[in-house]
Amino acid sequence: MGTSPERPEVAVLRRQSSRHTARMADAQRGVAAAHRDQVELIAATEEALDQIRSPVQRLQVSRRMEVASLAVLGAAEVVVAGTVVQALGLTATATDLVAVGVGGAATGLAWVTGHEWAISRDPQAAAEGRRGWLRAALATAGVFLAANLGVRVYYGALSEQASNLGGGLVAPLLSGLLLTAVTAALMVVAAFVSAHAETAKESQLRAKLRRLRAQLRSLERAGARRPGPAPSGPRPVAEEETPPAA
């Protein structure tokens, strides 16, 4: 007893399923290839980032964090400077402007000192023969702090004389030393942040690395995995539709 011939509708459905399976297999291979390329690109980016990163920069401070920290420290410097500028007897507007200038100068010197310290410890900069200005920056910062101390002591002594509190220098000197120590401490913190902040090239590579990792996660959500050995079975091939037999 012979078998009954396959119905035409079943044959069409089988061919459609075969074509769909072939398209899905092609899509999976494409996603797997894209996943492999993305992994290789991430590895190359990480290697480039390791090469340009200075070995002395243990803390990787982002550029946004550096800007935010310097802004906060600069504001604190302005407040500390304002306590001395008020003794100059200037107008309120002039006092604020001078305080902002002194605080900005302190923060700027700290940034330059930290930046030059990082360059002086960078082997690539030494190999390229880049000349650092760390000593000049330290000397300028020292002169700045000494000038701050002198101004605070001088105007503190004048203030005591005007208030008939005696002409001793002990109280103005202690007050000047305290405020100068606070200014120096804020400058040291700002210099430390700047010394460990990432460069523009590092920031660019980190942004690229975050973008690549986000794309890799998208591929993995789509079902991509690291490509393994190719299957030994035959690749499904879509059959051409043939008209049903009469």
Q: Residue 232: pLDDT above 50?
A: no
Question: What is the pLDDT at residue 246?
Answer: 41
Token pair in block for residue 120? 């002086």
Q: Residue 110: pLDDT above 90?
A: yes
Token pair in block for residue 231? 């299957």
- Find the helix or strand (DSSP H, E) in which 8 lies: helix 8-52
Whole-angstrom distance, CA of residue 210 vs CA of residue 215: 9
More confident call, 89 vs 242: 89
Least trusted range by pLDDT, from 27-31, 72-76, 87-91, 116-120: 87-91
Q: What is the pLDDT of residues 24-46, one digit of tens each?
A: 777 777 777 777 888 888 888 77
What average pLDDT does range 239-245 have in this prediction?
A: 45
Q: Within 10 Å of residue 54's Cβ, how many Cβ atoms?
A: 18
Whole-angstrom distance, CA of residue 49 vs CA of residue 209: 9
Most confidently predicted of 123-137, 153-167, 207-221, 222-236: 207-221
Q: Residue 91: pLDDT above 60?
A: yes
Q: Among candidates 54, 73, 94, 96, which has minimal Cα distance to 202?
A: 54
What is the domain partition of the chain in residue ranges? 9-51+209-221, 59-197
Q: Are 159 and 56 in contact (CB under 8 A)?
A: no
Least trusted range by pLDDT, from 6-10, 44-48, 102-106, 130-134: 6-10
